[in-house]
Amino acid sequence: MSLQTIIQIGHKIRNELSKEESLQYHRFVKKAPEYSAKQPYTYYQIDVKENFEIDYSSLHEVSDQTIINNKFYYLKFKTGEADSLVKYMFGDIAYPEFFKPDNPENKAAGFRVNSFFRGKEDASKIQNEKLKVFRMSLEKQMDSLLEIFQEKEFCYIHFNFSGKCWYETDVFDEIESAIVSNFIKEDDGHISLSAFLTRTLVESEGRLPNFSNSNTYKSKYFNGFDEVKDLLYGLDFQQKSKVNVGKEIMINMLPKGRLAAKGILAYYDKKSKYDYKNPKPEDTDPFAEPFINPEIDGIEKYDIVFSKRSKPIGVDLLEMTDVNQNLLLRVNRKIRKAKTELNYKYTIDFALKMLFDDKKYTSHLLKILPLIYKDNYYSDDLLLPALIQKTEYGIRNGKGGFLTYAYHYYFLSKLQINNTIMEIRQSKSYLLGTKLGIMAKPVAHSIKSFEKAYVGNLSQRIARLDNLVEFVNYMNEKLMIHQKGYPSVKEASRELTVILDSFPKEEKYNRHYCALGFFETYYTYFKEEVEIKEQTATTENE
């Protein structure tokens, strides 16, 4: 499962990087806020004696930006994800980022005192003499610190422990253990999460009977206390997204294999090179781009996680585990081949977006992308009905015709293992549609309302064979009235009659096949280029 991959990533980050580098990814440790015009921070340093008493007289301003950027971190102590008390426990102070002053007028008693006193009870549970001395000494100087906070709207206090930072002392190790203990429980030698810390995925409710989805965080047993600490360093990577699908859906591809911590960071530092403003058929699709990493050694597989953005850390919708790198490279070649053959320059999600409304687009993307990634996208019975529906809607509302949408349909069809285009074009239903389309074009030229009223509602006009016959009779009548009985149109009418008379009983009439045949000839028969695949789409990628 992807949670185990997150733990493995966290283990490498925690153990292979320097302390300062690894803390950048700690769930409850943050870098000092940067100075900006909106947040003009002043940075101070206070020395701490060997016995962990504060030497307040050593207070001085720090201006070395290298030290500030690389050494200054503060602890965001929490007993749970819902803990909003902003408790100060130990180490540097970032005001007002994570230190709140006294607020005696607050209706909630816990928020009336400042952050130091809010953390007093939790600090008393940690049996560490150095922490006790530090906090007692700091409490004596609290009034002086609060005065600084009143003078400076944005203020950062760094404590210097004889040349070390707070996170380089053994006190940090014990505080980190205390944080972990707030999120776990031990039962018969097994460690599991007792509080919401990470999102996990229960693949099927039936696999865990009488188990509430709200308790999914409890479904993982940890091998030991250190593994939970590893999780604290890996959670940041769970929140990352390699591909964004609109504003709600994110896709994270977690690398697995022999890659080191630096390789993991290099992987997540890579940005997409896809040019949405000037796309080309030969460009790697952004949905396959995260798998192309020749410069990073050791990637063998990926866990692919589809998540929905929500507070506090999102919800996992679907995950694929151990998807082989070589398989994904083959899938990428298949996508590029389909684009090149059709001269298709858009993305997979854009193709779907052109065929489905927002709700169906998201659900269908979540359905077919895992199949595409596993090279198991066999067939898709929803694409053709969606194409016909979208085409009809576009005609009725002046938002483009068949060629606007067909381009995307043909591309997605090429990604399928069983591309049914040839099968469709050999069917009698499709052939009926092609003849019908030839007959309809001259009628549309003669009757202004025909296209919106009839072509824009084609599915209704050809829902059954008897409906189709009525439609044919109507068009023959109009062709005669308007004297549009061209030789090619008469030939199409005769051939249509022959097909109807000999329609095989074993073949079920398919109105969508018929509609596809209709639109292909209706939009191309009287043009120089007949092949649909040579047409140029009129849409612009968003």
> Do 471 and 337 sit in the same domain of this protein?
no
Average pLDDT over residues 180-207: 67
Residues 51 and 111 in one domain: yes
Kindly state whether residues 203 and 149 are assigned to the same domain. Answer: no
pLDDT in tens, 263-278: 999 999 999 999 999 9
Q: What is the number of alpha carbons within 13 Å of residue 44 lying toward its C-beta?
A: 18
Examine the domain organization and report whether 161 and 209 are in the same domain: no
**How do beta strands 73-75 and 243-245 pair?**
unpaired
Q: 218 and 175 share a domain? A: no
Confidence tier at 213 by pLDDT (50, 70, 90): very low
Query: Of 341, 374, 395, which residue sits at a domain end?
Result: 341
Residue of 232, 179, 224 whose CA lies nearest to 23: 232
Report the number of distinct structural domains present in the chain.
3
pLDDT digits (tens, 9 = 90+) for 221-233: 788 889 999 999 9
Q: How far is CA 349 from CA 3, 225, 308, in A?
A: 27, 42, 16
Residues 159, 220 within the same domain: no
Residue 533: band (very low, low, confident or very high) from pLDDT cuts 50, 70, 90: very low
Report whether pLDDT(542) > 60: no
Mean pLDDT confidence for 301-308: 94
At 354-391, the pLDDT tens digits run: 999 988 999 999 999 999 999 999 999 999 999 999 99
Same domain for 217 and 127? no
Is 7 inside a domain boundary?
A: no
Residue 391 lies in a domain: no
Name the domain boundary from 309, 341, 373. Answer: 341
Q: What is the CA radius of gyration of the chain?
A: 33
Residue 327 and residue 441 in one domain: no
Last residue of a domain, one of 341, 369, 397: 341
The pLDDT value given to residue 10: 96
Note whether residue 385 is domain-resident. no
| Whether 210 and 281 share a structural domain | yes
- pLDDT at 209 exceeding the cut of 70: no
Q: Contact 325/299 with Cβ under 8 angstroms?
A: yes
The Cα 419–Cα 379 span in angstroms is 7
Say which residue the tokens 């030698």 belong to. 189
Provide mean pLDDT across the span 331-336.
Answer: 97
Whether residue 169 sits in one domain with residue 39: yes
Any idea which of 133-142, 240-249, 319-328 has the lowest mean pLDDT?
Answer: 240-249
- pTM of the model as a whole: 0.84
Check whether residue 215 and residue 322 sit in a common domain. yes
Check residue 201 and give its pLDDT.
44
**What would the mean pLDDT of 48-53 be, rounded to a whole number?**
97
Range of the domain at 97: 28-180
Confidence of residue 479 (pLDDT cuts 50, 70, 90): very high
Q: Residue 399 — pLDDT band, cuts 50, 70, 90?
A: confident
Instruction: Say if residue 150 is in the same domain as residue 60.
Output: yes
pLDDT at 525: 66
- On whether residue 56 sits in a domain, the answer given is yes
